[in-house]
Amino acid sequence: MASLKFSTLCIIIALIVSLILFSAFIALLVMISPSDFIRSLETKEMQYSLKLTITTSLISTFLAVIIGIPVAYALARKDFPGKNLVKTILDLPMAMPEIVLGITLLLLFGHTPLAQFLSMIGVKIVFSPLGIIVAQLFSALPYTLRILSSSYETINPRYELVSRSLGYGELETFVKITLPLSKAGLIASTAVAFARSVGAFGAVLILAGGVYMVTETLPITLYLNISYGNLSMAISAGILLIIVSFITIFIIEKMGGGKLWR
């Protein structure tokens, strides 16, 4: 009897929490009229922000996945000295407040020999759109690594051994066997990287500055307009961000993402 009551209780809590969240989404949607939403979308600011967000996110997603593919492979398959330390460092941005990630990146790219070198060759990261990409990349990378390495780990290494024995080198085996077998993980990690990039706020704000119509991405638009009291712009930005999240979740579910979060 007790166990029945307990499980009923669990279900009730789950329903209540999801109801609260759902009401919050609905609130966001009913707070503005469709015509206000359309008008917000048509403003120069929103168009700029949307375009900048999508461009930077596509680039940072691409980078996160391209970097993630070999790094996750090393973490999942190979042993090397200091591996656990490397793992911890790469995971750190996931646990760190985004705003702290932002300040560390700001210091690295603003006040170190690396910064001097970059400015010497004319690369400006701080307070520039390039900074957005860097901030998004580091917010997304830990998630990409997690998903990719656990998807590599589910592949029996003997597939790779068999391929090697049939005459295919390490790289060829990786491209022809390991990558296709981790397809679901690749798609899921791309989706998550994109969502993280689009939604990156704290790090982007600190590193890229959050300047109106210069380094203004959707989360920044939301933030700036809230502070000006321009609620309908803020809400519209929020709705766009939610749409991205829904599409991401949909793709992950479709790719059997549940299994990837072991």
Partner 1 sequence: MRVENLSVDLDSFHLRDINLRVEKGEYVCIIGPTGAGKTVLIETIAGFHKPSKGRIILEGEDITCKPPEKRGISIVYQDYMLFPHMTVYENIAYGARKKIRDKKSLEEEIMRIAGIMGIKHLLDRRPETLSGGEQQRVAIARAIISKPKLLLMDEPFSALDTRTTEKLRDFVKRVASEYGLTIIHVTHDIVDVWSLADKVAIMNNGRIVQYGEVEEVFSRPADNFVADFIDVNILDGEIVGSSRDVVLIRAGDILLKAKANTVIGQHVRVFIRPEDIYVTTEQKRIGSECFRAVVEKIVENGPYIHLYLSRNEIVLKAILTRGYAKCLGLSPGRQVYVHIRPENIRVART
- Using the rule CB under 8 A, is 77 a contact of partner 1? no
In angstroms, give the least distance from the CB of 173 to partner 1: 8
182 vs 217, beta carbon nearer partner 1? 182
Whether the CB-CB separation of 131 and 209 falls below 8 Å is answered with yes
In angstroms, give the least distance from the CB of 252 to partner 1: 21
16 vs 172, beta carbon nearer partner 1? 172
In angstroms, give the least distance from the CB of 162 to partner 1: 5
- Using the rule CB under 8 A, is 27 a contact of partner 1? no
SS (H, E, C) the chain: CHHHHHHHHHHHHHHHHHHHHHHHHHHHHHCCCHHHHHHHHHCHHHHHHHHHHHHHHHHHHHHHHHHHHHHHHHHHHCCCCCHHHHHHHHHHHHHCCHHHHHHHHHHHHHCCHHHHHHHHCCCCCCCCHHHHHHHHHHHHHHHHHHHHHHHHHCCCHHHHHHHHHCCCCHHHHHHHHHHHHCHHHHHHHHHHHHHHHHHCCHHHHHHHCCCCCCCCCHHHHHHHHHHHCCHHHHHHHHHHHHHHHHHHHHHHHHCCHHHHCC
180 vs 229, beta carbon nearer partner 1? 180
Choose the binding region for partner 1 from 21-29, 102-110, 141-149, 153-161 (rule: CB under 8 A).
Answer: 153-161
- Using the rule CB under 8 A, is 94 a contact of partner 1? no
59 vs 179, beta carbon nearer partner 1? 179
In angstroms, give the least distance from the CB of 177 to partner 1: 6
174 vs 201, beta carbon nearer partner 1? 174
Q: State the binding string over 154-173 for partner 1 (x if CB under 8 A, else -).
A: --x-xx-xxxxxxxxxx---
39 vs 164, beta carbon nearer partner 1? 164
- Using the rule CB under 8 A, is 83 a contact of partner 1? no
Q: Report the residue from 181, 226, 242, 249 that binds partner 1 according to the rule CB under 8 A.
A: 181
Q: Which positions touch partner 1 (CB under 8 A)? A: 156, 158-159, 161-170, 176-177, 180-181, 183
